[in-house]
């Protein structure tokens, strides 16, 4: 599989216009959520002659709007805007927008082209890259979706200047996951980065490394038959934390849930795969300092376990975990006992002590 086209830009409008000129769509649409419509769309349309003439489609912000209703709204707007199979959708937003917009484009008239312009750190290093699209359904994260890559991903780290600190941390959790998968200096560099006072120029270098790690894995296994499962590190437990928080009407940012999931799954990695405890504790300290602890009690354990049983990686009754034997050394499709999962929740709640 070819590497997805990633455009790191310092001239957003010119690079977006060049992409549109190359694709030559008959009609152009821009999808935003209500936040990026206010904060990011004016910058794009002021710089891009094509975007200034595009039809804007807007949906509600945050993951609570990553729904069938929002998807239907996008399809309706494409219909009313007379989109054809030769039209183009620009997804300008965070991971919710790129996930939902990619799925809308992949399914409208059996597929129209789309370009992702991520506006959050999480979207830049994760959601916008790799071809996973979808929506939440029946209380479960990304339950409905398909694999379909964007024609290109345009990464403009200047977008991050308006990003609040919780969302910056949320994206950094996925970068930390990539660093664990890569190992070596990349892991050490990520733990040394001052997340409380981020240097955006240094962050841009780390973003490029993170995207390269994900691209390398996705190119080797685009449809998650083998190696790509490595990218689920932290997500089996993380998605359960996220789904439980939605059920309890106290939603948490995706990256925070992933960071807590990393703590649980590094604990299981040390227990089952021999992951070094020194590296585990160093990573856990970083997570505890920057992401805190989830608001869960032992009364939530059974429900969390039940949510993990719905994970798309599972086969039959077994919950499939991605674990690490060492930094950069992945163990796929690992099984652990129910009690060991509960012990990992205890480890997390105790702050990794």
pLDDT at 224: 78
Instruction: Evaluate if residue 1 carries a pLDDT over 60.
Output: no
DSSP E strands in the chain: the ranges are 6-8, 28-33, 55-59, 88-93, 113-118, 132-137, 140-147, 152-155, 321-326, 329-334
Distance between CA 233 and CA 177 in Å, rounded?
Answer: 7
Please indicate, yes or no, whether residues 136 and 179 belong to a single structural domain of this protein: no
Among the three residues 139, 162, 185, which one is the final residue of a domain in this structure?
162
- Asked if residue 3 lies in contact with residue 219, where contact means CB atoms within 8 angstroms, the answer is yes
What percent of the chain shows pLDDT beyond 70? 98
CATH code (residue 310)? 1.20.1090.10
Q: What residues make up the domain containing 226?
A: 165-349
Instruction: Work out the pLDDT band at 142, boundaries 50, 70, 90.
Output: confident
Mean pLDDT, residues 282-299: 96
pTM: 0.89
CATH code (residue 105)? 3.40.50.1970
Strand-strand pairing, 132-137 and 140-147: antiparallel
Residue 1 lies in a domain: no
Residue 226 lies in a domain: yes
Q: pLDDT, tens digit, for every residue of 20-38?
A: 999 999 999 999 999 999 9
Question: Quick one: which of 150, 145, 218 has its CA closest to 178?
Answer: 218
Q: pLDDT, tens digit, for every residue of 182-195?
A: 998 999 999 999 99
Distance between CA 173 and CA 179 in Å, rounded?
Answer: 10
Residue 140, φ and ψ in degrees, nearest 5:
-115, 140
Residue 279 lies in a domain: yes
Q: pLDDT, tens digit, for every residue of 6-25?
A: 999 989 999 999 999 999 99
The runs of H, that is alpha helices, within 138-222 are: 165-182, 184-192, 200-220
pLDDT at 339: 97
Residue 199 lies in a domain: yes
């Amino acid at each position: 599989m070819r590497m997805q086209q990633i455009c790191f830009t310092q001239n957003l409008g010119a690079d977006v216009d060049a992409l549109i000129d190359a694709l030559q769509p008959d009609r152009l649409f821009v999808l935003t959520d209500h936040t990026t419509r206010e904060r990011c769309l004016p910058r794009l349309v002021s710089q891009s002659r094509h975007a200034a003439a595009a039809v804007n489609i807007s949906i509600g912000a945050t993951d609570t709007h990553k729904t069938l209703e929002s998807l239907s709204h996008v399809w309706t707007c494409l219909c009313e805007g007379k989109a054809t199979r030769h039209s183009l959708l620009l997804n300008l937003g965070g991971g919710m927008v790129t996930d939902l917009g990619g799925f809308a484009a992949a399914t409208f008239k059996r597929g129209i082209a789309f370009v992702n312009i991520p506006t959050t750190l999480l979207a830049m290093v994760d959601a916008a890259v790799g071809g996973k699209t979808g929506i939440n359904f029946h209380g479960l994260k990304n339950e409905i979706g398909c694999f379909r890559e964007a024609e290109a991903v345009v990464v403009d780290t200047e977008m991050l200047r308006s990003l609040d600190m919780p969302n910056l941390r949320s994206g950094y959790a996925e970068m930390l996951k990539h660093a664990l998968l890569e190992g070596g200096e990349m892991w050490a560099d990520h733990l040394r980065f001052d997340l409380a006072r981020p240097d955006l120029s240094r962050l841009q270098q780390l973003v490029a490394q993170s995207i390269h790690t994900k691209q390398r894995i996705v190119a080797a296994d685009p449809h998650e038959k083998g190696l790509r499962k490595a990218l689920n590190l932290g997500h089996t437990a993380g998605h359960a934390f996220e789904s439980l928080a939605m059920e309890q009407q106290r939603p948490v940012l995706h990256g925070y849930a992933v960071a807590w999931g990393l703590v649980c799954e590094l604990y299981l990695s040390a227990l089952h795969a021999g992951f070094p405890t020194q590296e585990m504790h160093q990573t856990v300290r970083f997570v505890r300092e920057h992401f805190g602890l989830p608001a869960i009690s032992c009364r939530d354990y059974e429900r969390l376990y039940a949510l993990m049983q719905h994970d798309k990686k599972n086969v039959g009754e077994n919950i499939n975990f991605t674990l690490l034997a060492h930094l950069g050394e992945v163990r796929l499709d690992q099984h652990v006992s129910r009690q060991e999962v509960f012990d990992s929740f205890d480890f997390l709640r105790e702050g990794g002590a």
